[in-house]
Amino acid sequence: MNSFESSCDISTGPRPAASRGSRVLRMSDFRWQGVPATQYKQAADHHCGVTRISLAGETGESTAFHTRYFEIAPDGFSSFEQHAHEHVVVILRGRGTVRLGDTVHEVGFGDTVYVAPHEAHQFRNVGTEPFGFLCIVDAVRDRPVPVTER
């Protein structure tokens, strides 16, 4: 694969019709009623087993941020990448690691990760159940750039 495809900023296909009205999205087993989940159909060089669900900000809302839920399957991982925009991540299920530069932190439910601008980062499932987290980003943001190991 020549072009870098981030596991975070992927297209999620056709969107539901825009709706700006207030609403409650019901969650059952980490899937939200009426909200599509985009699963990677196969592993790539850069990521593996990542599902992305857009909860708010990309379907007609006018927030300055997008709220997404990512889930990484056991043995899966996100792209090792960096970008100018920041991440705020809140773990909702499972156990995983986040690599921030050269440091790896193990994280679980409720732990909150702030990824600073241009910090190389990668999420990895180290448990036996799905590793799921909210990831909130600015609506206007730059594209991720892959990081190669030194």
Binding mask 120-149 for a copy of itself (x = CB under 8 A): -x------------x-x-xxx---------
* CA neighbor of 58 nearest in space, from 69, 66, 48, 46: 66
Tokens of 137: 């980003």
Binding to a copy of itself by residue 68, rule CB under 8 A?
no
Taking the C-alpha atoms of residue 56 and residue 85, their distance in angstroms, rounded to an integer, is 18
Q: Quick check: is 135 catalytic? A: yes
Binding to a copy of itself by residue 25, rule CB under 8 A?
yes
Question: Is the CB of 1 or the CB of 64 nearer to a copy of itself?
Answer: 64
Taking the C-alpha atoms of residue 132 and residue 91, their distance in angstroms, rounded to an integer, is 6
Nearest distance from C-beta of residue 64 to a copy of itself, angstroms: 4
State how far the alpha carbon of 93 is from the alpha carbons of 29, 82, 83, in Å.
Answer: 10, 24, 25
- Taking only Cα atoms into account, the Rg of the chain, rounded to an integer number of angstroms, comes to 15
The amino acid at residue 90 is V
Binding to a copy of itself by residue 18, rule CB under 8 A?
no
- Among 6, 36, 38, 119, contact with a copy of itself (rule: CB under 8 A): 119
List the catalytic residues: 135
- Residues contributing to the site for a copy of itself (CB under 8 A): 20-28, 30, 32, 55-57, 61-65, 67, 86, 88, 90, 92, 98, 100-101, 105, 107, 109-117, 119, 121, 134, 136, 138-140
